[in-house]
Amino acid sequence: MYKLTIRPLLFLFDPEEVHYFTFSLIRNLSKVPGFSKIIKLLYKVEDPLLQTEVFGLKFPNPVGLAAGFDKDAKLYQELSNFGFGFIEIGTITPVGQEGNPKKRLFRLKEDNAIINRMGFNNGGVKEAVIRLKKNKNVLIGGNIGKNKITSNQEAVKDYEICFESLYKYVDYFVVNVSSPNTPNLRELQDKEPLTKLLLALQEANNKKPKQKPILLKIAPDLSDEQLIDIVTIINDTKIAGVIATNTTLSREGLISENKSETGGLSGKPLKNRATEVIRFLHQKSNGSFPIIGVGGIHSVQDALEKLEAGASLIQLYTGFIYEGPQLIKAINKAIVAKQKL
């Protein structure tokens, strides 16, 4: 139904405007008595075989919503009704910021992809906290970043502010240094600044009565040498794991009209590279840390490939937009079926 009727209609309009319209629609419909129950019945798969424990957290199922969709923690409760096992909010920065000028979100229909150059547009960490205080049992990841005006030399402070503010209200943290849409941000992926940043966050974490898992989100555009550095950094800083991968700057093989737009590419064209990175990290680390696999999951097979490559959990974003909520259900049912073999 989604791909035949809803998606063609939504795809007639500007992607960013459709995003806000859809949020408003889901929020308003969820206030109608019985709507949320119907959505759960349609899409939620509840089975003990789906439950998985990763970095000390118990996930009801391994299929999550990636960061960037619910940037400001405005719809996590309603989105969880579609069957996601966890929702990652953000990227959140200490102070609200507009992000990059519009137009900044582009569909590549022929490639089943999206290019975005949003630029960490969000309302700031204080606003997110107000909304997260209302959380009713949704497992939440907090994806954190730095403000655009903050220099890389001062970046640690921004991440620490977000960590301290969100600590009580999220279940795990994601350090985003891999977005291509904030100037020079990816320089923080270099060994020295990244180690410094992660050690500072771990120090803050260790002062808490209970430590929260801290993960690192990395770009798919890293070389093998850089990926080996990532393995070393994770083992040295003892953070909980990795999210592989963020969007790519590569435009290889694209055929859509918007292929030359600046920004990060997500969707089907990213699938193979993201899986390669997962497999490489898993093998080189001897499985010493968990990996959340994300990038180009548009089918059950895509999801299973990520899990087989070494991911403990997976996330959807572009696949959710192109395939609809039926994809979440199909993946979870396939995982249950596989567990029963």
Please give the structure tokens belonging to residue 323: 């395939």
Helix (H) or strand (E) holding 170: none
Task: Report the alpha-carbon distance of residue 114 to residue 107 in Å, rounded.
Answer: 5
Cα dist from 230 to 155, 220, 271, whole Å: 19, 12, 20
Task: Report the alpha-carbon distance of residue 262 to residue 1 in Å, rounded.
Answer: 33
> What are the beta bridge partners of residue 173?
142, 214
Task: Report the alpha-carbon distance of residue 151 to residue 183 in Å, rounded.
Answer: 10
Cα 336 to chain center, whole Å? 23
List, edge to edge, every strand of the sheet that includes 264-267: 105-108, 113-116, 264-267
DSSP letter assigned to residue 3 = I
241-267 residues labelled b (16+ CB within 10 A) or e (exposed): bbbbbbbbeebeebebebbebebbbbb
Of the residues 80, 165, 178, 179, which is catalytic? 179
Name the residue among 90, 136, 112, 21 with its Cα closest to residue 324.
112
Whether the link from the prior residue into 22 is cis, omega within 30° of 0, is no
Judge whether 336 and 83 are in contact, CB under 8 Å.
no
Instruction: Tell me, yes or no, if 36 is annotated catalytic.
Output: no
Judge whether 141 and 67 are in contact, CB under 8 Å.
yes
Name the residue among 2, 8, 74 with its Cα closest to residue 43.
2
Catalytic site positions: 179
